[in-house]
């Protein structure tokens, strides 16, 4: 009788050790993107090309830094506007990415921010 009890305990123990706990899935927060649209602002000087506008160097440096930090997956110009898509936790953080941008600060550009939700997997990655 004792051997049956010992055998049952050993079988139960080996069974419990052989099963690994069910892993809990780790949720990775979805990336959030915002479209930043730059338009000519009230300080834009129509007599000068873009690279001679007030704050152009600081604006270029800011975009270069954001690209180096992998915060801008894509950007470009269309019509007389510029557009970049930035990765940020929320709209407030997206706004701070351009808070010191020379052309925005000096009102050479106006800035519009819009939430952007890509629906094709891999469209920005």
Contact at 8 Å (CB) between 116 and 85? yes
28 in any annotated domain:
no
Q: Which two tokens stand for residue 110?
A: 């106006």
pLDDT confidence of residue 27: 65
Could you give the percent of the chain with pLDDT greater than 70? 75
88 in any annotated domain:
yes
Q: What is the CATH number of the domain that holds 100?
A: 3.30.70
pLDDT confidence of residue 121: 73
For residue 49, give its domain range: 36-116
Mean pLDDT per 10-residue segment, the chain (125 residues): 47 48 62 95 96 96 97 94 96 96 96 92 70
42 in any annotated domain:
yes
125 in any annotated domain:
no
Residue 7 vs residues 1, 4, 18, 19, 20: alpha-carbon distances, Å? 10, 5, 16, 19, 22
pTM over 0.75: no
Q: Which of 85, 39, 41 is nearest to 66 (CA)?
A: 85
């Amino acid at each position: 009788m004792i051997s049956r009890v010992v055998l049952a305990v050993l079988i139960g123990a080996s069974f419990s050790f052989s099963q690994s706990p069910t892993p809990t899935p780790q949720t990775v927060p979805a990336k959030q993107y915002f479209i930043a649209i730059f338009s000519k602002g009230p300080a834009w000087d129509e007599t000068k090309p873009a690279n001679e506008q007030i704050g152009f160097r600081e604006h270029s440096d800011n975009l270069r830094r954001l690209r180096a930090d992998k915060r801008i997956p894509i950007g470009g110009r269309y019509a007389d506007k510029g557009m970049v898509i930035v990765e940020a936790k929320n709209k407030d953080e997206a706004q701070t990415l351009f808070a010191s941008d020379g052309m925005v600060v000096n009102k050479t550009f106006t800035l519009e921010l819009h939430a952007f939700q890509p629906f094709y997997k891999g469209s920005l990655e």
